[in-house]
Structure 1
Amino acid sequence: MKNSPKYQALLVFLLSLNFGIVFFDRQALNALMPFVQPELGLTGTQVGLLAAGLSFSWAIAAFFVGRLSDSMGKRKILLVIATVAFSLCSFLSGIATSFLFLFAARLLMGVAEGGVMPISHAMVASEVNPERRGLAQGVAQNLGSNLLGSFAAPVVLVAFAQMFSWREAFYLAAIPGLISAALIWFMLEEPQMPAKEPAPKKTMGQTVTDFLAETGKALAVRNMWISVVVGVLMVGHFVTTWAFMPLFLVQQRGMDETSMSWLMGSLGIAAAIYSIVVSGLSDKIGRKPVMVFLPFLSVVGPLGVLLLDPAGFAGTGLFGLSNYALVLVPIFFIGWMVNGIFPIFMATIPSESFKPIHHATVLGLAMGSCEVLGGVFGPIVAGWINDGFGADSFLYLLMGLAVVSGFVSMGLRETAPAALRRKGITPEFA
């Protein structure tokens, strides 16, 4: 039955699975970069541009597809179309023969993938009980994306590339999305949209003007602009980590590809756990405490890579993985707890700060801003400083982004319903 606990669980599960497949496709290039970069002769700046290009088109799509779903009231069909489209784009990445070809394929993939999360979060916000909203949005955004995108992608695709080639690995990455689209189409219902007053038809210019006006009003809300600023910094941190860490570990730290894939995959396991633990914890103790503390904690990951000399951990250990990788696993596991706050600043806080009718629009604004600024400029800057100042320069950038995020989050106003009620405050938009 629609809106029953069982249906809500099914909804969150399928949306989490679908976004996991989105990230499986998105992370494919990062995991396969040690194979792709030598064959296509890519520079550090070009590696950054590939990550940035997808982030840019993803951001534009997040802005406008979220708004389109609000105005059309057809969220399920748009989600299915986007899922089929990004799956087909993975085939294009596999046949790329040059930087420009691959860059164009990633741009198209970003366009297809960008609207998936704003629509998904809007569906969760309208269908799931407010008391479980933080946990539900955390699972929808982080559980599948980390198990499939951050864990399965490097482990499975690197192994597949070693057996065949990186091109065949991209073909493999395209298949799950088609299956997910079918599951969503047949098993989920179209969410019921809040009633709207009839609006007069508007020209394209008026529509753009209204969109900019709504954006300005949204950013005037304190929690919204803080969420956007922290999102820009932390998405830059996330995209830069995945764009450059695999290459750095293999080419500069001498780690074999298999050990690298499992080490990077450990980030997925960590983030999958934290998607439940951190989001659920924020439902209990509040959004602000976790938003402030965890960015500071994330410094331990890049600091560990920077300070630990692989020469001191020669040889192999458990499962045949390098000892250096095994030492870094717990360090990465602790630092990556910060991934648990992503659905909080991208979705939970914005959705608790605005009326439901505006959810997809403000979520698209939050996610789009994070991607277009953090996801685009983060890896470009990292690639540029790596080319100019050394391959380890991006590690200092990661630490700087994290520290600034923690300080900015101190300005947040609490929105968690349970935390507010303990203070005798009634949530405004619960």
Structure 2
Amino acid sequence: MNTTTKRTWFIAFVVSLGGFLFGFDAGIISGVMSYAGPQFDLNDVQTGWVVSSPSFSAMIAMLISGRLSDFIGRKKILIVVAFLYALSALLSAYAVGYDMLWIARMLGGIAFGAALILAPTYIAEISSAENRGKLVSMQQLNIVLGFFAAFLCNYYLNELNTSGESFLSDETVWRWMLGLELIPALLYFVLMFFVPNSPRWLFLKGKVDAAKNILVKLHGNSKAEEEAKAIATSIENNQNKEKVELKELLKPALRFIFLVGLTLGILQQITGINAIYFYATSIFKQTGIGTNAAFASGVLLSTIAVIFTIISMVIIDKVGRRPLLLVGIAGIAISLLCCTYSFSNATYKLTEEKINILDTSINEKLTPFLNKAYDNDVQFKREMQEALGTKVYAKNDGAILEAAIEMNSILVLIGILGFVACFAFSLGPVMWVMLSEIFPTKYRGLAIGVIGFVNSISSWLIQQIFPWELSNLGNAMTFLIFGLIGVVGFFILLKVLPETKGKSLEQLETEFVQ
């Protein structure tokens, strides 16, 4: 790898650290809520809001950050993003109640909303056609590395807490989980000062010499000259057009690629990926494997995500975007339907032997349910909550489910890991690669911002309603809904999805925009 290539990879890595922080925050909250939820006695709506509030504020950030970056530059906004990540981590760790916790997390949401839009945009603008897929995919790699780091921290801190031999307690362990995010946030803030401005943005601002100097450092003299000519031609073709407005995204010349991008943006979220990531510990508890095993399974889940994201980065520029997306969405649908089948066959019964191994403070209250059989998780959990109270049940739900449930938990684990693997080499990274490619330079910031906004709405809705779904619809019905969405999504993508592999941004602009 030559010096210019190394420099490009380093810059892409630094910029995409915002993705690492998003992944860390998303992964860490699944462990946090196992402790903070019972401590603050949160109901389903409050639990959903603490988890989903960052996605809610991210919607606003996604809508305005693309356009704002067209005026003041990608780099300056990403520096602010890093600062907000650090502030959010600090305030979350010191939250004294429900309100402070969700407000602090919303600050982090503003940060990752902007980062998820601007990082792939920036990376696409410093990349050549030959390596753009790999470099933009680094955003998703950093996201899943963030998940891995978070689940590993959750597992380690949970083990320290449950051992009873450390300074941690149920009241403080979740604060350490949240506070650890401060370390990568500060690193991101410092490293962003070593990143240049986007050369395409500098061209748009008339700073041609500065843009050419950056291109030379990134690609070498000959490639830089080629890239500079292509960028200048693209901008010249658009400079006589009026100011970009939202309604222009629906004009005939852009309508097809906008609808393709919108479909990808919605489908990425409504198949339930953030329900899996944000509530991983809770989902694994539903299988009855126990709280400690649920934390351990989160580490396995994030490891699978890392492995298959790397596979995607290696093959995306060889295989192409369309095959990866189609194979991935098909695998997602099959995996979710496997989970549905297993949960639909689960039964629940507390025997005397199983009740006796539970905490002595609750087993007497569960005696009336001795040998009572349930074939519905909703009814079982509801009666347990009524007997124990929501706060006590929330603190002991992993142990109670482990004692009562009879099901094929291995099939659920395979289904969830299959889902994560298929997502990690398809909808996860490839959606952002395609969004960074299919729109002309003039429209890119606005178009990705709008699609990112819709993507974030979808993510927020899934995260907000997921606890309610589990409590009121049950595990099987919840996963069935996600699985059927995956089936429908496969046939939609089969019909409309184009291929963008190996083409420069300017070539794609000529091909897609009339």
TM over 0.5: yes
Q: Distance in 2 between matches of 1:223 and 1:98?
A: 45
8 Å CA contact 2:338, 2:411 repeated in 1: no
8 Å CA contact 1:142, 1:340 repeated in 2: no
Amino-acid identity (%): 20
8 Å CA contact 1:151, 1:269 repeated in 2: yes
1:266-321: CA deviation from partner (whole Å, max 9, x where unpaired)? 2322222222323443422332222222112113444444444799xxxxxxxxxx
1:323-334 matched pairs, under 5 angstroms: 330-334=414-418
Q: CA deviation at 1:216?
A: 3.8
Q: Which residue of 2 aligns with 1:147?
A: 145
Aligned-pair Cα RMSD in Å:
3.3
8 Å CA contact 1:63, 1:368 repeated in 2: yes
1:60-96: CA deviation from partner (whole Å, max 9, x where unpaired)? 1012112111122x22221111112112112222233
Question: Greater shift after overlay, 209-218 or 163-172?
Answer: 209-218
2:446 to 361, 364, 371: 361
1:255-266 matched pairs, under 5 angstroms: 255-266=289-300
1:340 to 418, 422, 425: 425
Q: Which residue of 1 aligns with 2:196?
A: 189
Does residue 397 in structure 1 map to residue 405 in structure 2?
Answer: no
Q: Distance in 2 between matches of 1:218 and 1:67?
A: 22
Q: Which residue of 1 aligns with 2:490?
A: 406
How many aligned residue pairs are there? 401
Q: Distance in 2 between matches of 1:16 and 1:276?
A: 15
Q: Distance in 2 between matches of 1:248 and 1:108?
A: 27
Does residue 234 in structure 1 map to residue 268 in structure 2?
Answer: yes
Q: Which residue of 1 aligns with 2:33?
A: 33
Q: Distance in 2 between matches of 1:92 and 1:42?
A: 19
Distance 1:42 1:301, change over 3 A: farther
Distance 1:334 1:221, change over 3 A: same
8 Å CA contact 1:267, 1:333 repeated in 2: yes
8 Å CA contact 1:40, 1:97 repeated in 2: no
1:368-407: CA deviation from partner (whole Å, max 9, x where unpaired)? 21112x1122233333333322355432232133222212
Question: Greater shift after overlay, 322-331 or 53-62?
Answer: 322-331
Q: Distance in 1 between matches of 2:408 and 2:15?
A: 36
Distance 1:414 1:229, change over 3 A: closer
TM-score, normalization by structure 1: 0.82
Q: CA deviation at 1:11?
A: 1.4
8 Å CA contact 1:75, 1:191 repeated in 2: yes
Q: CA deviation at 1:330?
A: 4.9
Q: CA deviation at 1:355?
A: 1.9
Match of 1:417, SS state, is coil
8 Å CA contact 1:215, 1:365 repeated in 2: no
Does residue 271 in structure 1 map to residue 305 in structure 2?
Answer: yes
8 Å CA contact 1:44, 1:386 repeated in 2: no
1:3-62: CA deviation from partner (whole Å, max 9, x where unpaired)? 921211111222333421232123321232222222122223332233332212112101
Q: Which residue of 1 aligns with 2:320?
A: 286
1:346-369: CA deviation from partner (whole Å, max 9, x where unpaired)? 422223222234333322222221
Distance 1:215 1:96, change over 3 A: farther
Q: Which letter does structure 2 place at the counterpart of 1:381?
A: I
Does residue 249 in structure 1 map to residue 246 in structure 2?
Answer: no
8 Å CA contact 2:246, 2:446 repeated in 1: no
Q: Which letter does structure 2 place at the counterpart of 1:81?
A: V
| Rg larger for | 2
Q: Distance in 2 between matches of 1:91 and 1:254?
A: 34
Q: Distance in 1 between matches of 2:95 and 2:481?
A: 30
Does residue 109 in structure 1 map to residue 108 in structure 2?
Answer: yes
Q: Which runs of 5+ in 2 are unaligned?
A: 162-167, 207-242, 348-401
Q: Distance in 2 between matches of 1:178 and 1:94?
A: 15
Q: Which runs of 5+ in 1 are unaligned?
A: 199-208, 312-321
